[in-house]
Amino acid sequence: MQIDLERIHEASLKILWKTGVKFDHPDILRMIKKNGIRVSGQFAYFTGSQIMEWIQKAPGSFTLFARNHDYDVCVGGDTTVFAAGYGATFVVGESGAKRSARLEDYLNFLKLVHQSDHFSINGGLLVQPSDVSSAGPFPLLLYLSILHSDKCLMGGSDGATETQQTMDLLKICFGDRRHLIEKPRMVSIINSSSPLRFNRDSLDKLLIHARYGQPAMITAAVMGGTTGPITLAGTIAQANAETLAGIAVSQMIREGTPVVYGTQSTLADMQTGAYVSASPEHALCIRYGARLAKFYGLPCRGGGGKSDARFVSAQSGFESMLTMLITCKEKMNIVVLSAGILDGAMAMSYEKFLLDLQIGNPQHAAAHL
């Protein structure tokens, strides 16, 4: 396995130097160039020594602070913390019928997560409510998360305006920028736009999070055969290159910014081109992603209780168990999408949420694998 990791690492360094990564942000490009990285147009080209120098500035672990300090969590090492759903636009009912998620559903899941001892992180985009304006909804969802729960917070905004509004809310609740840097309160996902690109909204979000010291889960979700190579090894190498580039940039913005190495890659469905969230190939991506993160000395995020089933069924049970088992075995530090997920993370289910908790205490399972 160690030889495999080293070969993937070397392939990723080759991608970063010969192909480069596109950054759709002039300020980021100027910053990268100022730090001695070769820039041509919108592409940055990192040498192996440059990328390793920058990612080593990121902390190997950090504490995420909750309003109730009983829920403070250390992210890193062999500890595993769980967050529930993220980003689903639909809710699947008991009969299997699918409908658009509503704000009422968001509040319901928010309260369920708060009441469950399995979770130390709450909020984010548990579901995307269709009855709330799509123009900058996250400050409202963050307000509701703070109002109804005192656990650590999951972020969910995109773009400069909305992200700054969330920081303003955090300052009202917890103190000024200096306090937020000293005691991070909210962890957010920063996705690359595969292949080998970070878009403007993601980079604006990363800029603001780093300036305020809020942890970022730099996550590649390469789909082998569509946004990445058809081979699994090539997919993992590309995803690793994207994640390392994002982590390096986070440290250029503010050295010591807490980051998490994220992995959500898989192979695409060759019939539909869809993201396959619970395949054996995705399980292998989780395994290699976790081990690469530990190879670099970084906290990691990935996996969850995901399923591509359209409703609660035997398929949803065994697929969720497959992804959660490998996630816990590899000691992923933050597990998003850990309960209630159906239809390739497009839908949440109340019934599956409760079943996922009843299958076994995930924290207990993680401690004994």
**According to the model, what pLDDT value does residue 159 have?**
87
Name the pTM for this structure.
0.94
Residue 365 pLDDT: 43
Measuring CA to CA, how many Å separate 32 from each of 66, 195, 250, 317?
Answer: 33, 20, 11, 45
Question: Residues 105, 93: contact at Cβ < 8 Å?
Answer: no
Checking if the pLDDT of 369 tops 90, the result is: no
Report d(CA 27, CA 275) in Å as an integer: 32
pLDDT of the residue at 236: 97
Burial of 76 (0-12, 13-18, 19+ CB in 10 A): buried
Which residues 6+ apart lie within 8 Å of 244 measured at CB?
12, 16, 51, 55, 296
Distance from the Cα of residue 325 to its chain's centroid: 18
* CATH T-level assignment (fold) for domain 2-58+74-367: TIM Barrel (3.20.20)
Q: For residues 263 and 345, what is the distance between their CA atoms, to the nearest angstrom?
A: 15
* CA 359/CA 354 separation, integer angstroms: 9
User: Residues 143-177: pLDDT tens digits?
Assistant: 999 999 999 999 987 789 999 999 999 999 999 99
* pLDDT more than 90, % of the chain: 88
